[in-house]
Copies of this chain bind each other. A is one copy, B any other.
């Protein structure tokens, strides 16, 4: 079995999920390097488990000729620059979502990747979740028919910490670019047409009395696709009953609903009602397998020189839609994707 050598840049929550998966669930990969701007916290955890320790400087791994792949889990504002740097070193790149906050930077990165002839896969892990993948499957097999309506719900169990807004780059953060971005990608994944118009509206409801947080935490979005079909998206940063991620795809032959995975199939019937277990809460519980699958498939695409499942274009479109949503919400108007889409052909 061939083992592809991997380095991870950014060893926060998501970085750790990838690191654990590579070590315990992806026999085709070998983790050689980890880099993190503040390595101490990670290293304490890694030392206990006997995992590779982190360097502070990611350029060390990029210079290692043995390294074939970098997985970028650094803050989103740095993604584009890191991709450009990795591509220049000839490394294949797996980059967490979003591609970047800056559309010009995304285009520049895509060009550099193309020039370098390396593979780039974006980390829209939900496409690899067995539930959403099955919905796509029903579309492909014709069971849904022509898609008319896509509905997506993403609600986090707890809102982001205040540091999320106050950390460097926090000024770019918004629910549209960080949370809804998953739904923008999912809307494209669960339809066969491209988004042409966006209407988004948001409210600050969860922390309505908190003066520091000024941005929306609860949002509703409608997307229109080229073929006249529509998507409805709702997001909240606080669902007290767990991590709520559901979808529906309605078409001429039927509708597919995707419910949440729950802790167990035990159901209590008592004087209080019929009580089922709650949705899984952590991303590791809910999407651990999907995170492993996306890396496994990326390694396979490299080893067999096949096309990656989620391309730079997918990353670009998700960000363009997110920026359109921000603009729509800010100006309370419908925004056409063509206003923001760069004039490049992909």
Contact = CB atoms under 8 A, between A and B. Distances in A.
Interface of A: 1, 24-25, 27, 48-50, 130-135, 137-138, 143-144, 146, 148-149, 151, 153, 155, 197, 199, 201, 203-206, 208, 218-222, 224, 228-232, 234, 236, 238-242, 244, 250, 252-278, 332-334
Given A148-B218, A151-B151, A203-B230, 12 more contacts: A24-B25, A130-B263, A131-B265, A134-B263, A138-B266, A155-B250, A199-B201, A240-B271, A241-B254, A254-B269, A255-B269, A257-B267
Contact of A228 (B205, B236, B261): B205
A256 B232 contact: no
A266 B257 contact: yes
A273 B279 CA distance: 9
Given A1-B50, A149-B220, A266-B134, A271 B334 contact: no
Given A50-B1, A135-B266, A228-B204, A241 B271 contact: yes
A253 B240 contact: yes
A14 to B, nearest CB: 21
A201 to B, nearest CB: 6
A218 to B, nearest CB: 5
* Chain A interface main SS type: mixed
Total identical chains: 4
B143 A268 contact: yes
Considering the complex of A and B, which 6 residue pairs feature the smallest CB-CB distances, nearest first? Answer: A254-B270, A203-B228, A134-B266, A274-B276, A259-B265, A134-B264
A50 B30 CA distance: 14
Contact of A274 (B224, B262, B270): B262
Contacts of A49: 1, 27
Nearest to A278: B273
Contacts of A219: 230
B274 A266 contact: no
A201 B230 contact: yes
Contacts of A277: 134, 273-274
Nearest to A200: B222
Given A265-B258, A266-B258, A275 B278 contact: no
B222 A199 contact: yes
17 contacts: A1-B49, A27-B50, A130-B264, A131-B264, A148-B203, A201-B222, A201-B230, A203-B224, A205-B228, A240-B252, A241-B270, A241-B273, A254-B268, A255-B268, A261-B265, A272-B275, A274-B277
A4 to B, nearest CB: 15
